[in-house]
């Protein structure tokens, strides 16, 4: 069996920064550093940080007053920020800088008098935070159908912003529908969607042309990993989302001569190696890596840790 690895895959700079934030906080403050929600959407990452002493909570009320609290890479709402201040928590904000950029875009458009539209998935932590951080009413759209249901008057000054982990193709379709209905609308180009999202989606699109099946390593609640699986499937290749080698089903690959593997931006490379090992227990494997973009982006840690 040949295995072809997509390039790039696995951790992006925002995820590395978030994990490093928790690890540096533990080194500086000792155990009992509290993290609100999953720092990134991956159980293996969370479990590793728990083993180092990090405590994961759902609500700030679970954190002792004046303790160290880390906000996840997805960002938080203004209400969460206010509650943390009221409780005197020492906050380390691990929000990905590219998510923060979307927040800033929303605030800038709102200050200029635009009515705001957010393209994203309802209920996703990043979307929940962005809806609040814009500091103005925001209408969420998830599909072209949602665009058709909008009730803004034709001459309304409108601007859109986007969730960072969406499918580029789906986002482009929604933007096209917005521009067709409201020609005056302004907003960032799809190229402003997270660089890591773009790179991994382009890589899996190329990978799907070369293989019999695609395995996407990532958590079931990881938006960017789910989009990778969807894109591979759209290329006509059987595609599966798998958190590690234990979830590999023999039937998926028993007739495959070439298996493609990629990983979402929140999935550790160790889990890619775990899936390769699981395939190796089924057949002799030869592993190669597809040529692709090398990512050299590095984000600085929060100022309180630098």
Of 96, 115, 132, the residue that ends a domain is: 96
Residue 261 pairs in a beta bridge with 5, 215
Q: Could you tell me if 187 and 199 lie in one domain?
A: no
- CATH number, position 74: 3.40.50.11270
Contact between 22 and 300 (Cβ < 8 Å)? no
Contact between 97 and 299 (Cβ < 8 Å)? yes
Residue 179 located in a structural domain:
yes
Question: Which residues, 6+ apart, have CB-to-CB distance to 51 below 8 Å?
Answer: none
In this prediction, residue 53 carries a pLDDT of 96
Of 166, 191, 216, the residue that ends a domain is: 191
- Token pair recorded at residue 59: 């609500």
Q: Could you tell me if 92 and 117 lie in one domain?
A: no
Q: Could you tell me if 235 and 187 lie in one domain?
A: no
State yes or no: is 38 an active-site residue: no
Residue 302 located in a structural domain:
no
Question: Which residues, 6+ apart, have CB-to-CB distance to 27 below 8 Å?
Answer: none
Q: Could you tell me if 151 and 109 lie in one domain?
A: yes
Residue 84 located in a structural domain:
yes
Distance (Å) of CA 254 to CA 6, 129, 259, 272, 280: 21, 43, 10, 19, 12
Of 159, 191, 223, the residue that ends a domain is: 191
The total number of structural domains that make up the chain = 3
Sheet strands side by side (includes 138-141) = 138-141, 115-119, 158-162
Q: Could you tell me if 17 and 6 lie in one domain?
A: no
In this prediction, residue 301 carries a pLDDT of 97
Residue 298 located in a structural domain:
no
Q: Could you tell me if 87 and 120 lie in one domain?
A: no
Residue 33 located in a structural domain:
yes
- Mark 10-34 as b/e (b = at least 16 C-beta within 10 Å): bbbbbbbbbbbbbbbbbeeeeeebb
Contact between 163 and 130 (Cβ < 8 Å)? yes
Residue 299 located in a structural domain:
no
Q: Could you tell me if 132 and 106 lie in one domain?
A: yes
Q: Could you tell me if 215 and 242 lie in one domain?
A: yes
Q: Could you tell me if 229 and 261 lie in one domain?
A: yes
- CATH number, position 217: 3.40.1010.20
Residue 216 located in a structural domain:
yes
Say how far apart CA 225 and CA 200 lie, in whole Å. 9
* Residue 73: alpha-carbon gap to chain centroid: 8
- Token pair recorded at residue 266: 């929140």
Residue 85 located in a structural domain:
yes
Q: Which domain holds residue 274?
A: 2-11+195-289
In this prediction, residue 300 carries a pLDDT of 96
Q: Could you tell me if 88 and 121 lie in one domain?
A: no
Select which of 83, 126, 286, 295 is catalytic. 126
Q: Are strands 55-57 and 34-36 parallel, antiparallel or unpaired?
A: parallel
Question: Which residues, 6+ apart, have CB-to-CB distance to 108 below 8 Å?
Answer: none
Full pLDDT tens readout for the chain, 306 residues: 999 999 999 999 999 999 999 999 999 999 889 999 999 999 999 999 999 999 999 999 999 999 999 999 999 999 999 999 999 999 999 999 999 999 999 999 999 999 999 999 999 999 999 999 988 999 999 999 999 999 999 999 999 999 999 988 889 999 999 999 999 999 998 776 799 999 999 999 999 999 999 999 999 999 999 999 999 999 999 999 999 999 999 999 999 999 999 999 999 999 999 999 999 999 999 999 999 999 999 999 999 897
Closest CA to 160 of 169, 19, 150, 93: 150
């Amino acid at each position: 069996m040949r295995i072809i690895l997509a390039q790039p895959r696995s951790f992006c700079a925002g995820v590395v920064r978030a994990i490093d934030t928790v690890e540096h906080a533990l080194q500086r403050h000792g155990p009992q550093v509290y993290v609100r929600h999953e720092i990134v959407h991956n159980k293996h990452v969370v479990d590793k940080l728990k083993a180092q002493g990090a405590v994961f909570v759902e609500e700030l009320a679970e954190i002792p007053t004046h303790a160290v609290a880390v906000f996840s890479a997805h960002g938080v709402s203004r209400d969460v920020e206010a509650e943390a201040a009221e409780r005197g928590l020492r906050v380390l904000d691990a929000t990905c800088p590219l998510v923060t950029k979307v927040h800033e875009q929303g605030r800038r458009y709102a200050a200029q008098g635009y009515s705001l539209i957010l393209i994203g998935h309802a209920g996703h932590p990043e979307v929940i935070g962005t809806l609040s951080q814009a500091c103005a009413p925001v209408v969420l759209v998830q599909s072209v159908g949602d665009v058709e249901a909008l009730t803004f008057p034709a001459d309304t000054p409108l601007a859109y912003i986007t969730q960072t982990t969406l499918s580029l193709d789906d986002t482009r379709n929604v933007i096209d529908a917005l521009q067709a209905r409201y020609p005056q609308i302004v907003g960032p180009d799809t190229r402003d969607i997270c660089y890591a999202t773009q790179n991994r989606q382009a890589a899996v699109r190329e990978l799907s042309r070369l293989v019999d099946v695609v395995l996407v390593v990532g958590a079931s609640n990881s938006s960017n990993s789910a989009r990778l699986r969807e894109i591979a499937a759209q290329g006509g290749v059987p595609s599966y989302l798998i958190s590690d080698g234990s979830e590999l089903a023999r039937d998926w690959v028993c007739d495959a001569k070439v298996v493609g593997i990629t990983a979402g931006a929140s999935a550790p490379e160790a889990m890619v190696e775990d899936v390769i090992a699981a395939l190796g227990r089924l057949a002799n494997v030869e592993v190669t890596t597809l040529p692709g973009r090398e990512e050299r982006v590095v984000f600085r840690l929060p100022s309180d840790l630098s």
